[in-house]
Amino acid sequence: MLDLRNAVVCRPAFLAAFILSLAAPSVTLAQGSYHLITQWKVGGEGGWDYITADPTAHRLYITHGARVEVLDSDSGKAVGAITGLQGTHGVALDPAGKYGYISDGRANAVVVFERKTLKTVTSIPAGTNPDGIAYEPVTKTVWAFNGRSSNATVIDTKTQKVVATIPLPGKPEFPVADGKGNIYDNIETKNEIVRLDVAGHKVTAEWSLAGCESPSGLAIDTARRRLFSVCDGKKMAVVDADTGKVLATPDIGEGPDAAAFDAKDKLAFSSNGDGTLTVVDAGKSSFPVVQNVTTQRGARTMAFDASNGRIYLPTAQFGPRPAPTAETPHPRPAIVPDSFTVLVVGR
């Protein structure tokens, strides 16, 4: 046992060091906590959906109504926009840095643009209301998941042509690729995840998500083979990407629509419409929640940037919620014009 009386009399410097050492863990924890760093006013009108980060080019692609906003991810300054669209949902990027692919839901198309100039190259017919979209590196294809026709459109990025249309068992949400020939997607209407063989253009597994209602956002830990599906009812389903077994269901915030994974620090994130960002320790077998960060109401989609460890969340201010009607039993509140904003969260 340390004799503090002797330390006080003979070694005041040692005592000071000892006290600081006791305080060090809490200082480290505070420095490691996620918090709102800044927010960038974008403005404009209309709703939004997914946001995509390009860590190499330091850009953000934000679907915003009939356009895609492009921001510098370091400064928040506007780089430009892809316009002439109808109703955007997501953006997929090729690894070569040449093209981007936009799921334009209202146009039932995938719009290809040149990333250097932000000019539209072509529009490719897809299924009805393409929503979630992802680049698949093994076959060098883009997969658009069509929400209303319950199928997936596969596009060859060499020819910019559709090479397959794959039926799905229900309404698809967000997809992720594992880089080993599989794509996974949440099926919102069946509370399950499907696995697709990218070369064979077919569904190879349907996995039920017990305790996970209306799954939407999806992220993947490719090294440990884990999927992170965020659901209504304040749950994240952690799923084995090879067997489909649900390993854990940590608690998250209400109304999530996106998930992300930080491979460096082994953290999974859920962005929640109730104004929180849930952080889960994916390096531990129990998958504990380590933090719930206060963000802003409506910030339910996000992008994680591996180059700086930051998370970007679009949202806006809202007016009062209208009274429900028979035609619209769950009405959404109106967006306050010109209040569209991107929140920047980091450590």
The pLDDT confidence band at residue 170, using thresholds 50, 70 and 90, is very high
pLDDT for res 8: 36
pLDDT for res 32: 74
pLDDT for res 330: 77
pLDDT for res 264: 97
- 64-85, pLDDT tens digit by residue? 999 999 999 999 999 999 999 9
pLDDT of 188 higher than 70 = yes
pLDDT for res 7: 37
30 within a domain of the structure (yes/no) = no
pLDDT for res 331: 83
Q: What is the CATH number of the domain that holds 158?
A: 2.130.10.10
Helix intervals (H) in the chain = 4-10, 12-32
- 321-333, pLDDT tens digit by residue? 888 888 888 788 8
Flag the least confident range among 24-28, 172-176, 335-339. Answer: 24-28
Flag the least confident range among 102-111, 218-227, 320-329. Answer: 320-329
The pLDDT confidence band at residue 29, using thresholds 50, 70 and 90, is very low
pLDDT of 31 higher than 80 = no
pLDDT of 176 higher than 90 = yes
DSSP state of 232: B
As a residue count, the chain comes to 347
- 135-146, pLDDT tens digit by residue? 999 999 999 999
Biggest CA-to-CA distance, the chain: 82
Flag the least confident range among 5-19, 39-53, 145-159, 283-297. Answer: 5-19
Q: How far is CA 248 from CA 195, 231, 334, 337, in A?
A: 19, 13, 36, 40
327 within a domain of the structure (yes/no) = no
pLDDT of 15 higher than 70 = no
The pLDDT confidence band at residue 21, using thresholds 50, 70 and 90, is very low
Phi–psi pair at 28, nearest 5 degrees: -60, -40
Q: Return d(Cα 341, Cα 22) in angstroms, integer.
A: 41
111 within a domain of the structure (yes/no) = yes
Residue type present at position 89: H
pLDDT of 247 higher than 90 = yes
pLDDT of 261 higher than 60 = yes
pLDDT for res 209: 97
Q: Return d(Cα 263, Cα 105) in angstroms, integer.
A: 31
43 within a domain of the structure (yes/no) = no
The pLDDT confidence band at residue 336, using thresholds 50, 70 and 90, is very high
Q: Return d(Cα 126, Cα 144) in angstroms, integer.
A: 8
- For the chain, the domain total comes to 1
More confident residue, 8 or 317: 317
pLDDT for res 2: 35
- Parent domain of 195: 48-320+335-346
pLDDT of 164 higher than 80 = yes
Closest CA to 301 of 318, 282, 290, 315: 315
pLDDT for res 326: 84
pLDDT of 3 higher than 60 = no
Residues 6+ apart with CB under 8 A from 73: 53, 54, 55, 58, 59, 60, 305, 308, 310, 312
Residue type present at position 311: I
19 within a domain of the structure (yes/no) = no
25 within a domain of the structure (yes/no) = no
Q: Return d(Cα 103, Cα 130) in angstroms, integer.
A: 5
Token look-up 């198309």 returns 109
The pLDDT confidence band at residue 114, using thresholds 50, 70 and 90, is very high
Over range 255-264, report the average pLDDT. 98
pLDDT of 210 higher than 50 = yes
156 within a domain of the structure (yes/no) = yes
312 within a domain of the structure (yes/no) = yes
Over range 224-242, report the average pLDDT. 98
Mean pLDDT (the chain) is 91
DSSP secondary structure of 39-104: EEE---SS-EEEEEEETTTTEEEEEETTEEEEEETTT--EEEEE-S-S-EEEEEE-TTSSEEEEEE
Q: Name the β-bridge partners of 294.
A: 276
Q: Return d(Cα 128, Cα 30) in angstroms, integer.
A: 47
Q: Name the β-bridge partners of 155.
A: 142, 162
Over range 309-330, report the average pLDDT. 90
pLDDT for res 22: 39
